[in-house]
Amino acid sequence: MKPPSSYDKKNCHSHADLIHSPPAQCKPHLWTLGSGGVAGAVSGTPPDAFSETGQLWGSPLYDWPAHEAEGYAWWASRVGRALALHDEVRIDHFRGLAGYWSVPGDAATALSGSWKLGPGLSFFEGLKARLGHIPLVAEDLGVITADVVELREAIGAPGMAVLQFGWDGNPKNPHLPHNHYQNSFVYPGTHDNETMAGWFKVRVAL
């Protein structure tokens, strides 16, 4: 069930995290699996601040044409269930819906990956056709290119800023408070960061 109605009186909403790593065995035709259920390509990221060789997550990639052919029914089921329990849905790794890093299934690191086009606006049009208006939050962190921004703005979803990412000496860093755009949520940190107490201790020591 949804949170108690007292939340609404205090202008508090709960949101569900829609992550991209459910078990492929439940609907194998919706993933890019080869013979024996082995993934020919898996998820990851190019080199970033966390790893010089990129991040190799290793989960099978979606077969987006197969999802589109079914009108994104599987996704609509997931999102609909999340909205039955929460007020809004945050899409983790939102940028993957515009373009994603595809890594060969037998690769030892993510360096050999390449960018592939995601489903884009078609994905959200499919959900809207089945569910109507969906209150969404886009986790738009990572390598954010113009196509990701355009997709987020096209669906009117707020994005994210993370305060701990802002202090790298770059005055144009989008995570600095004076660079936050209006339609966004601001988080102090993420699960990849130090706690705020620990972060402050390190900065004071510097």
Q: List residues with catalytic annotation.
A: 92, 139, 192
Q: Which residues contact 152 (CB under 8 A, 6 or more apart)?
A: 94, 138, 140, 159
Dihedral angle of Cα 191, 196, 201, 206, to the nearest 10 degrees: 80
- Which residue in this structure is represented by tokens 């755009």? 181
At 83, list the tokens: 């909205």
Q: Say which amino acid occupies 185.
A: F
- Closest Cα partner for 178 from 145, 154, 186? 186
Give helix 121-131 / helix 146-155 axis angle, nearest 10°: 20
Spatial distance between the Cα atoms of 158 and 80, rounded to a whole number of angstroms: 19
